[in-house]
A = this chain, B = another copy of it.
């Protein structure tokens, strides 16, 4: 279907940009001599993952067992479930392995390791487990030098579980914005994970896989000695947060939300869109970065950027597009400070041309803060080819 005929709001993937992003990451991994295991939580879309695999990806990373089930049903067998395993989820994991899925689980603590080993013994199943390593204090995992690392390794190894490797995610890379800082964190992530693997091996525990990654560190890494594979997710579409981190240009961003102008507040310089936070998501990831893009960066229907304009506010099904300097309070729906809000209204000078510049019915594309969050608001993407035609690509929802 042609773009101009799609109902709005709609989530668009620019296929040419997506393929360029896939080729860039896979090429970098090939140069570094490591395997690449894309994180499919970003798109939860079989069509996208097929393109990643066609480009050379080996296996996938998932964030939920529903993703594992759906991608296994679609023919992917090598799956890393990269969230520390809750004992209550073991029956679902067992069912996948019994069906022939090469599902790898993750733990980062002795309790989970014991529960997993006990469950495996009870059901006669040799699970494969990777141990999560904390290389940046960001979230979960065991730091490379903690005794707990070897404790967990031994619990698994001595109780019938195959220790398949170590994995880490330097998620704090999202907070950086210089090539030097990203390269330094990539090296920290690499070195910490390799060290954890070496400690396990030195203790007689096998550790074949050494898996690292986040989109910024994957792209910034100059060498990955000792690493066997890299994981990254958002690189496939990119977004405004990644642009601010410095790892993509605005015209690399392959995801946008198609929206229609449904009204105006000319005295305030606002055009009202039918894409609110339900479509754009509540993610305001750029709010604390050097360039705050509000709820998104507007572009023309053909993708041409509209510098000087921003989606400055959002209610559930309304977005407010305004010129920079005439912004609505970006959090107006939930919790704006009335004083600030009143001040904004009082000081904004009228922009009588907003109605002419963005007439009723005009369609725009909005680049989002965070591709993972915005995609999740939609049951499907519309994959757009260079000739402006589109096909529907379904995505999953829920757990």
Give A residues with C-beta under 8 Å from B.
7-10, 41, 63-64, 83-89, 92, 108-109, 111-112, 115, 134, 137-140, 171-172, 174-176, 241, 244, 260-265, 272, 274, 277-279, 281-289, 313, 315-318, 320, 331-338, 341, 345, 359-361, 369-370, 372-373, 376-380, 397-399
Q: For the complex, what is the distance from the CA of A335 to the CA of B286, rounded to whole Å? A: 7
The reply to whether B174 and A335 form a contact with Cβ atoms under 8 Å apart is yes
The reply to whether A274 and B337 form a contact with Cβ atoms under 8 Å apart is no
Q: A8-B86, A282-B281, A399-B10 are in contact. Are A138 and B332 (CB under 8 A)?
A: yes
The reply to whether A277 and B373 form a contact with Cβ atoms under 8 Å apart is yes
Among A85, A241, A334, the most chain B Cβ lie within 10 Å of the Cβ of: A334
The reply to whether A315 and B262 form a contact with Cβ atoms under 8 Å apart is no
Q: For the complex, what is the distance from the CA of A140 to the CA of B376, rounded to whole Å? A: 27
Q: Closest chain B residue to A369 by CB distance?
A: B334
The reply to whether A86 and B335 form a contact with Cβ atoms under 8 Å apart is no
The reply to whether B379 and A397 form a contact with Cβ atoms under 8 Å apart is yes
Contact of A84 among B63, B263, B287, B336 (CB under 8 A): B263
Q: Closest chain B residue to A376 by CB distance?
A: B278
Among A64, A244, A279, A286, the most chain B Cβ lie within 10 Å of the Cβ of: A64
- This chain: how many copies in the complex? 2
The reply to whether B9 and A399 form a contact with Cβ atoms under 8 Å apart is yes
Q: Closest chain B residue to A396 by CB distance?
A: B379
Q: Closest chain B residue to A282 by CB distance?
A: B282
Q: For the complex, what is the distance from the CA of A331 to the CA of B378, rounded to whole Å? A: 23
Q: A281-B282, A282-B281, A288-B335 are in contact. Are A88 and B8 (CB under 8 A)?
A: yes
Contact of A315 among B171, B279, B282, B377 (CB under 8 A): B171
The reply to whether B318 and A112 form a contact with Cβ atoms under 8 Å apart is no
The reply to whether B112 and A316 form a contact with Cβ atoms under 8 Å apart is no
Contacts of A333 in B (CB 8 A): 171, 174, 285
Contacts of A108 in B (CB 8 A): 263
The reply to whether B288 and A112 form a contact with Cβ atoms under 8 Å apart is no
Q: How far in angstroms is the closest Cβ of chain B from A202?
A: 24
Q: For the complex, what is the distance from the CA of A262 to the CA of B282, rounded to whole Å? A: 25
The reply to whether A283 and B282 form a contact with Cβ atoms under 8 Å apart is yes
Q: Closest chain B residue to A66 by CB distance?
A: B7
Q: For the complex, what is the distance from the CA of A174 to the CA of B315, rounded to whole Å? A: 12
The reply to whether A372 and B7 form a contact with Cβ atoms under 8 Å apart is no
Q: For the complex, what is the distance from the CA of A8 to the CA of B89, rounded to whole Å? A: 9
Leading 3 A-B pairs by shortest Cβ distance: A285-B334, A282-B282, A379-B398
Q: A337-B288, A360-B115 are in contact. Are A315 and B139 (CB under 8 A)?
A: yes
Q: Closest chain B residue to A233 by CB distance?
A: B316
Q: Closest chain B residue to A85 by CB distance?
A: B262
Q: A111-B360, A341-B175, A361-B115 are in contact. Are A139 and B334 (CB under 8 A)?
A: no
Q: Closest chain B residue to A264 by CB distance?
A: B109
The reply to whether B139 and A320 form a contact with Cβ atoms under 8 Å apart is yes
